[in-house]
Amino acid sequence: MIGHSAQSGMLYLCQDDVVAYPLPIDYLRFHSFVSFKIEAAEQGVEYDDDQELDDIISSFEPAMRERASEFLESVGEYKLALRSSVEPERHFELHLKLGNVKDCLRILHELQAQQSDKSRDDVLRSKWKRLGTHCLDTNDYNTAVECLMNCGDYSSCMLIYITSGNRDGIAKIAEIATKEGVANIAFTCHYILNNIPECIDLLHRTGRHSEACIMARTYKPSALQASYEKWNNAYNPNLPALEETTVDQDALEIEKLLSERLATGFPQAKEYPKLKEAVYVNLLRSETPIDRSAIASDWSAGINL
């Protein structure tokens, strides 16, 4: 090292040739000021003269301000680093470390509104994801859902709504996932909401005709014939022909009774011990006609407990 020129603000080094690096005297003052502040804090002495530090930083060029911000961050002075930086993305990182969720949201919405380079979509989604994870860690579930929705993490949103029993939220995820073509999430949401017709229709629209028929046969026998016809129309003619399907009349009767039963609503979970005998009904009992009271009456009575 040859030396530093305070007049030119350059640091001169020599190896094979003389090389000069910009190092303003104010940046050296800045380092000295921060070091003194840290030493004072370690000794339990309050040294609060941030105005002087602001005056020093304000004299820096933008690149030097970011360099100063990085240094402040490295020593744990996040608030001072925030005041030094002028880059929105860096502001986000520092606000996240400080736990300033509202400021992080504001910055991300601004970045999203200004986004024109599609190649940076993944970068923005990553920031939404990190903020959402932070909100989950701090039990801020509403904000977490907003962030996870913006980064397209519908599965995490679905789990939050399921565990909190939010039917409207699950329905919202089902609608969005259907529009976005995320069929597995949409199917799971509809299944949890007992929207069996939607599940069957979704399976057909995604070309899973055999699964749609199995679901119709299991949960909605009245839809089996229509489901079978869709499968048959899309079936590969080079394969062995499908056998004709038949709908069991008892199954249709059971479906009707269960629909009436579900229409009364569900009892609260705390009522389960009193209603478990009504829940576990052998629907395929041999006697005819089917005992309607075993399927409908007990459950309906439980609603009024």
Could you read off the pLDDT of 142-170 as tens digits, one per residue?
Answer: 999 999 999 999 999 999 999 998 999 99
Give the pLDDT of residue 161: 95
- Residue 305's pLDDT band (boundaries 50, 70, 90)? very low
Give the pLDDT of residue 9: 64
Give the pLDDT of residue 43: 72
Average pLDDT in the 78-96 region? Answer: 90
Q: What percent of the chain has pLDDT over 70?
A: 80
Pairwise pLDDT comparison (191 vs 72), residue with the higher score: 191
pTM tops 0.85, yes or no: no
Rounded Cα–Cα distance for residues 305 and 295 (Å): 17
Rounded Cα–Cα distance for residues 305 and 300 (Å): 10
Average pLDDT in the 130-138 region? Answer: 95
Highest mean predicted confidence (pLDDT) among 106-115, 119-128, 203-212, 234-243: 203-212
Between 24-38, 58-72, 221-235, 240-254, the lowest mean confidence (pLDDT) is in: 24-38
- Residue 257's pLDDT band (boundaries 50, 70, 90)? confident
pLDDT at residue 299 is higher than 80: no
Highest mean predicted confidence (pLDDT) among 51-55, 195-199, 268-272: 195-199
Between 72-86, 246-260, 276-290, the lowest mean confidence (pLDDT) is in: 276-290
pLDDT at residue 212 is higher than 90: yes
